[in-house]
Amino acid sequence: MVSEKNNDRICGVDDWVGIEKFSKEEEPWLRTFLELPNSIPSHDTFNRVFQMLEPGAFDEAFR
């Protein structure tokens, strides 16, 4: 999910629905470097997972 989020940020996607849509469109490419045994997570799953992170920690980790 972190890799998908980073790729989406680079492509200018800025909401969870957009991240899910982008990831589904690019699933064959994502599968070249990610294991996706349950396919692409839903926008709700992205939202829940990233809400659990400390605010700002994700952005700081990738600067």
Name which of 5, 13, 54 is nearest 34 in CA terms: 5
The pLDDT score that the predictor gives to residue 32 is: 94
- pTM here? 0.71
The pLDDT score that the predictor gives to residue 37 is: 94
* Residue 18 exposure: Cα atoms within 13 Å on the Cβ side: 11
> Is residue 1 scored above 70 in pLDDT?
no
Q: What is the pLDDT of residues 2-52, one digit of tens each?
A: 555 555 556 677 788 988 998 999 999 999 999 999 999 999 998 998 888
Please classify residue 38 by burial: count the beta carbons closer than 10 Å to its beta carbon, then call 0-12 exposed, 13-18 middle and 19+ buried: exposed
